[in-house]
Amino acid sequence: MVDISAALGDAFKRTRYLLWERGSFARWWRFALLSTLTGGGGGGGGMNVRAPLQLMQAYKKETAMVGLMATSCALGNFDTAMVPVVLGLGLGLMLFVIFFAWLSSCAQFVLVESIVYDRHVLGEPFGRLKSNGTGLFLWSFLVSLLCMIPVGIVIVGAVGSGFMVSQTAPGAILLISLAALAVLGVLGIAVLIFFTLTNQLVVPVAYRQRIGLNPAWSLVWQTLRNRKADTALFLLVLMGVVMAGAFGVMMGVVLVTGVVGLVSGLLLAMPAFFLYQAHMTAPAVLCGVLFAMVLFGTLFFSSLSFQTPVTVLTRCFGIYIMQQLMPEQGLLPLGGRPEQIQEDPILREEPQPLGALPEDSWQRPEL
């Protein structure tokens, strides 16, 4: 049975060492950037497109406007001269989402290396690991397409069955809908678990062995199928950590944003209101813009500040669990103790894991 308490303890010590004990502002915000690119938290069900999908959600009005314009063009109620513009916007949006998804896949490997090597540079690792990220992106895309096949079958089957029974048994439509939703829910959970295991366990193995995703999954699957209880326990604990972290992030962001909003409201929003009442439009608009910038800036930076430790903690936790399940794949020194870390140079061709211990010493050292 895996030692969950030891893995969590080591992950917490490693996170504390990487983000706080080093005392580096640049290091913190580079980890924050990686946290954003990888989707944060457990890094699971986003299929490496979580960040662009969140961005599209944030700009859903603009996305909907592009769709409306395209629909209008199709119906012939829009100036045909705007067709190239609409098509260009749609193509540009699609290319941006694809680029962001590729960047997110590269960030998966860079985050693992940053945790292992205790590094805080991004340009060189991204350039060196982009082939690994491209492989993960293409592999995830193909797997996602395969996952859409059963989803399409369920939807088509439910719609077809609904049409067939709509005349004879109208009440059966509700049962068919509930059954289809249940099947889709099970498929969604299966896909979430699959990509969570990929990002938490398979990506570190692929990085450690310098192999592709399919061989890495084969290695991991040989262990997981023999240790089903340990795998289920890991997933349950990871889900609990992610949920607790999400709640903590939400509470922290609300508290910090509320305090800053209250103070900035007294200093900027109220003067803007009184200036507007006094018909001093320009100063009122300036105060209002400053208030909005302070509020949104606080929301953004507080989200990054609270989310970053959760992301690093969950990734460290996954690596330590991987080392318990597959000791030969060890990447991090047990105990997360910084005195075991050696600042060895990273070779471009064959980098060695930072803090690697001798082959026969991947057991927890006696204190």
- What integer is the mean pLDDT of 240-245? 90
> Is residue 61 pLDDT above 60, yes or no?
no
Contact assessment for residue 45 and residue 196, using Cβ atoms and an 8 Å cutoff: yes
> Six-digit token pair at 192?
């979430």
Residue 8: other Cβ atoms inside 10 A: 17
CA nearest 207: which of 324, 327, 330? 330
Contact assessment for residue 342 and residue 104, using Cβ atoms and an 8 Å cutoff: no
If one compares 313 and 355, the residue with the highest pLDDT of the two is: 313
> Is residue 344 pLDDT above 70, yes or no?
no
> Which pLDDT score is estimated for 166?
64
CA-to-CA separations, 237 to 44, 154, 217, 320, in angstroms, rounded: 14, 31, 22, 13
Round to whole Å and give the CA distance between 257 and 263.
10
> Which pLDDT score is estimated for 363?
39
pTM: 0.72
> Which pLDDT score is estimated for 71?
53
Q: pLDDT class for 255, splitting at 50, 70, 90?
A: very high
Q: Helix 60-75 and helix 50-58: axis angle, to 10°?
A: 80
Q: pLDDT class for 59, splitting at 50, 70, 90?
A: very low
- pLDDT, one tens digit per residue, over 126-153 is 888 888 888 889 888 888 888 888 888 8
Q: pLDDT class for 62, splitting at 50, 70, 90?
A: very low
Round to whole Å and give the CA distance between 192 and 144.
11
CA nearest 283: which of 271, 265, 300? 271
Q: pLDDT class for 338, splitting at 50, 70, 90?
A: low
> Is residue 362 pLDDT above 80, yes or no?
no
CA nearest 313: which of 92, 99, 16, 1? 16
If one compares 257 and 329, the residue with the highest pLDDT of the two is: 257
If one compares 168 and 99, the residue with the highest pLDDT of the two is: 99
What is the average pLDDT score of the chain? 76
- What integer is the mean pLDDT of 171-186? 81
If one compares 88 and 22, the residue with the highest pLDDT of the two is: 88
> Which pLDDT score is estimated for 350?
43
Round to whole Å and give the CA distance between 323 and 326.
5
Q: Which range, 39-53, 213-227, 320-334, has the best average confidence (pLDDT)?
A: 213-227
> Is residue 40 pLDDT above 70, yes or no?
no
Contact assessment for residue 230 and residue 1, using Cβ atoms and an 8 Å cutoff: yes
Contact assessment for residue 66 and residue 96, using Cβ atoms and an 8 Å cutoff: no
> Which pLDDT score is estimated for 236?
92
Contact assessment for residue 14 and residue 115, using Cβ atoms and an 8 Å cutoff: yes
Q: pLDDT class for 355, splitting at 50, 70, 90?
A: very low
